[in-house]
Amino acid sequence: MTIHREGMATIGLVGSVLLFTALLLPSRSPEWVFLPILGVLIAVMLIVLWFFRVPSRTVKQQDDLIISPADGKVVAIEEVTEGEYFKDRRIQVSVFMSPLNVHVNFFPIGGTTSYYKYHPGKYLVAWHPKSSTENERSTVVVRHPKHGEVLFRQIAGALARRICTYAVEGQPAAQGTEFGFIKFGSRVDLLLPLNADITCRLGDVVQGSITPLARFAS
């Protein structure tokens, strides 16, 4: 396990406060004041390190499968109208990430990135029905050479204040590799063809780059 580059500034800030407290407070405050403050700061540092962790995973690329783009829980499986790119009916599968989940996002299929757009917006709770269209979000579409295009959308939540997307239009996308990161609680939506065979169920706990969510129609 390593620490994600997006966390370095936050870790540096928390570490600086922790070091400052450890060096200065003992000489200026009694132990009953100093020790609880130090304990809280150490706990905050451990939480930050845990949040920005990058797990070591062996990715088995599977051409006919659509794998989870994120760690978390499946909170929606429904037919919707996708109005940004496809402008037709799609099956939406949504994975909610709590603050305790790994927040790296992974390409669910392989191919070529055919579309990317960032949308500023609100910070409704990530499970709110309108969060997919009103929250801060980034949309990425990857074209699979055999099965066509799949859209996936990073959505900020009530705590998230930064969406990082590394996908670039025209560049290759390798299934199971990192395409982005979202800071704090959030979700990722997948918009799949209507004939896709959904292999997950509501409430399933899934792992990004590992758990299949659907299978392309043969």
In this prediction the pTM is: 0.84
Element (H, E) at 35: helix 31-51
Exposed (0-12), middle (13-18) or buried (19+): which is 143, by Cβ within 10 Å? middle
For every one of its 218 residues, what pLDDT tens digit does the chain have, with 9 covering 90 and above? Answer: 788 777 688 878 877 877 777 777 666 666 656 677 777 778 887 877 777 777 878 788 888 999 999 999 999 999 999 999 999 999 999 999 887 888 899 999 999 999 999 988 665 655 555 556 667 889 999 999 999 999 999 998 655 557 889 999 999 999 999 999 887 668 899 999 999 999 999 999 999 999 999 999 87
Name the residue among 165, 208, 215 with its Cα closest to residue 54: 208
Task: Identify the three-state secondary structure at position 211.
Answer: coil
Amino acid (1-letter code) at residue 15? G
Q: Which residues are catalytic?
A: 186
pLDDT at 14: 77
Ramachandran region, residue 159 (left: φ > 0; alpha: ψ -120 to 50; beta: rest):
alpha
DSSP conformation class of 102? -
For the record, the structure tokens of 63 come out as 């051409």
